[in-house]
Amino acid sequence: MEDQTSLNALHPAPSPLHPKLLIVDDEEDIRTQMKWALAQDYQVFLAGDRGSAMEIVGKEQPPVVTLDLGLPPRPAHVEEGFAALAEMLSADSFIKVIIITGRGEKEHALKAVGEGAYDFLYKPVEIDELKVVLKRAFYIASLEREHHFLQRQIGEGDFQGMLGGSPQMQEVFSIVRKVATSDASVLVVGESGTGKELVAQAIHRLSPRKEGPFVVINCGAIPETLLESELFGHEKGAFTGAHIQRKGRIEAARGGTLFLDEIGELSLGLQVKLLRYLQEQMIERIGGREQIRVDARVITATNRDLKQAMKAGAFREDLYFRLAVVSIPMPLLREREGDIFMLAKAFLNRYAEEAKRRITGFTNQAMRAIESYSWPGNVRELENRIKRAVIMAEGNKISPADLELGMHHARDEFLNLKEAREAMEKEMILKALTKTKDNVTRAAEALGISRPTLYEMMEKLGIERK
Ligand SMILES: Nc1ncnc2c1ncn2[C@@H]1O[C@H](COP(=O)(O)OP(=O)(O)OP(=O)(O)O)[C@@H](O)[C@H]1O
Ligand SMILES: [Mg+2]
């Protein structure tokens, strides 16, 4: 690598947060000039040959490289440059290599692009043009990396439509896999929105009954008198209004799975009848005499503490032990390490695509608000807030306000000076733009800044013009 001290003495040291750029050129003057021009915006690394270039690629992993094809030992030829290109791409398949080449060598440039280079520029390089190309290359490199990272996370976390990379969810998936192959009754226990129904569906889909029906009935949503005939069915004339014979949902689940949601809401009378079915696999329709054999697997879910209900005499112990041969506790969203952001991004991608909106992520404040919120409604609440935010968002990033997670979260405890300033800047810029009907020149005037500065700030703050 080059000695950088003389240059650093003239330039302010680039912050380590600046993206890393590698410049490969055999001519020292050119390297120095380019570094001089770019050190404000990038952490610039320099190399004069393939060997030292590859060393930097391995150690620093710069997302973007500029590469002069004519490298020693034969600087008048291009094969060393092509070899360097191939090595870089195989070391890092995301690396963006910009070829620097003579005007007369367009075919080399095109060949390099065909072999995976990102773009090419002619010598002598115009610095302004280079800056534009670099900016775009870094932007695309970061998008690709982020996309890849997300895909991998989602790929790893996806289990039968359920996302979850946290150890807590991995544990749930592992129990689901084990119980799916048996016919054991399963009780899924968890607060609202934790994914109980998804778990029941996953068990069904992984079970030998997957070709059979999956029948859902919410015991809390149907009045008791109706619930009995809903579950067991009735014969014609069994009660006033029973004009025809009707099969119940248990029969409908024959050969498949019956999912009884909110089982804690079942009355004591129906608990006895359900218990009989579980013991004998037989039902009797209301008003009927016939014993009907029905083979269905029963999965239940509750967000109530059934042990408490048993103590209070509201839930039968014998039924509980029948239902909870296996019990799956669902973790709260806030306890699932690392899952909140992964789910948030997955929902953002899903709904932004659905709404055809280019929303790329969350503002820092939004990330903090998401992190500090307690998520009482768990995954369902997160999904709903993001679905809404995608529609409400004004910029290309989601803000706490879009999520209806009051700024007070951030303002009280979590906003540092920089974030507070950005929040205020954003608010003022949005106001100025609204007032001037998105006329950037007049908005800049009103704010007392230049037009380019306003553009720059808008980009930084994720504000899009309508
Ligand atoms: N792990 C997960 N990955 C992706 N989406 C999920 C996950 N868990 C839940 N969801 C989504 O959250 C919502 C609620 O899930 P589900 O209906 O299974 O929860 P529940 O525990 O039955 O909730 P409730 O008690 O409110 O009925 C659904 O839209 C579901 O798709
Ligand atoms: Mg549910």
Structure tokens at 303: 């967000």
164 lines ligand 1 (CB under 6 A): yes
Proportion of the chain above pLDDT 90, given as a percent: 61
| Strand 297-302 relative to strand 326-329, pairing | unpaired
Distance 86 CA to ligand 2 centre (A): 53
What is the per-residue pLDDT across 273-288, written as a single tens digit (0 to 9) for each?
A: 999 999 999 999 999 9
What stretches of 190-244 adopt beta strand conformation (E)? 214-218, 233-234
Q: Which residues surround ligand 2, an ion (CB under 5 A)?
A: 197
Confidence of residue 178 (pLDDT cuts 50, 70, 90): very high
Contact in structure between 200 and 259 (CB atoms under 8 Å) = yes
Q: Which CATH superfamily is domain 5-154 in?
A: Response regulator (3.40.50.2300)
Residues whose CB falls within 8 Å of the CB of residue 133, separated by 6 or more in sequence, listed in order: 98, 119, 121
pLDDT of 8? 41
Q: Helix H segments across 11-126?
A: 28-38, 50-60, 79-91, 106-114
Contact in structure between 260 and 300 (CB atoms under 8 Å) = yes
What is the per-residue pLDDT across 123-169, written as a single tens digit (0 to 9) for each?
A: 889 999 999 999 999 998 888 887 776 666 555 557 888 998 888 99
Distance 328 CA to ligand 1 centre (A): 15
Residue range(s) occupied by CATH 3.40.50.2300 in the chain: 5-154
Distance 220 CA to ligand 1 centre (A): 17
Mutate which of 168, 198, 349 for ligand 1? The one with the most ligand atoms within 8 Å of its CB, which is 198
Residue 15 in this model has a pLDDT that exceeds 70: no
What is the per-residue pLDDT across 299-336, written as a single tens digit (0 to 9) for each?
A: 999 998 899 999 999 999 999 999 999 999 999 999 99
Distance 381 CA to ligand 1 centre (A): 9
Distance 198 CA to ligand 1 centre (A): 6
Distance 165 CA to ligand 1 centre (A): 16
383 lines ligand 1 (CB under 6 A): yes
φ/ψ (deg, to 5) at 2: -75, 155
pLDDT of 412? 45
Proportion of the chain above pLDDT 70, given as a percent: 92
Mutate which of 380, 385, 386, 388 for ligand 1? The one with the most ligand atoms within 8 Å of its CB, which is 380
φ/ψ (deg, to 5) at 169: -75, -35
Query: Cα angle at 18 between 12 and 24, to 5 degrees?
Result: 90
pLDDT of 5? 42
pLDDT of 372? 86
Q: Which of 160-169, 256-265, 335-344, 425-434 has the highest mean pLDDT?
A: 256-265
Residue 465 in this model has a pLDDT that exceeds 60: yes
pLDDT of 463? 85
CATH of domain 335-461: 1.10.8.60
The number of the ligand nearest the C-alpha atom of 197 reads 1
350 lines ligand 1 (CB under 6 A): no
Residue 52 in this model has a pLDDT that exceeds 60: yes
CATH of domain 167-331: 3.40.50.300
Distance 196 CA to ligand 2 centre (A): 6
The number of the ligand nearest the C-alpha atom of 163 reads 1
379 lines ligand 1 (CB under 6 A): yes
pLDDT of 4? 44
pLDDT of 33? 92
φ/ψ (deg, to 5) at 96: -105, 110
pLDDT (average), residues 399-421: 69
| pLDDT higher at 374 or 420 | 374
pLDDT of 6? 43
pLDDT (average), residues 265-270: 95
196 lines ligand 1 (CB under 6 A): yes
Residue range(s) occupied by CATH 1.10.8.60 in the chain: 335-461
Contact in structure between 211 and 203 (CB atoms under 8 Å) = no
**Looking at the chain, how many residues does it have?**
466
What is the per-residue pLDDT across 24-44, written as a single tens digit (0 to 9) for each?
A: 999 999 999 999 999 999 999
Confidence of residue 228 (pLDDT cuts 50, 70, 90): very high
pLDDT (average), residues 168-177: 93
**In angstroms, rounded to a whole number, what is the distance separating the alpha carbons of residues 96 and 74?**
24
Query: What atom in ligand 1 is closest to the CA of residue 191?
Result: 25
Place of tokens 């050129």: 25
- 3-class secondary structure for 343-359? HHHHHHHHHHHHCCCCC
Distance 303 CA to ligand 2 centre (A): 9
Q: Please, what is the average pLDDT of the chain?
A: 89
**In angstroms, rounded to a whole number, what is the distance separating the alpha carbons of residues 437 and 466?**
9
- 3-class secondary structure for 92-103? CCCCEEEEEECH
What stretches of 197-331 adopt beta strand conformation (E)? 214-218, 233-234, 246-247, 257-261, 282-283, 292-293, 297-302, 326-329
Residue range(s) occupied by CATH 3.40.50.300 in the chain: 167-331
Confidence of residue 11 (pLDDT cuts 50, 70, 90): very low
| Strand 297-302 relative to strand 257-261, pairing | parallel
193 lines ligand 1 (CB under 6 A): yes
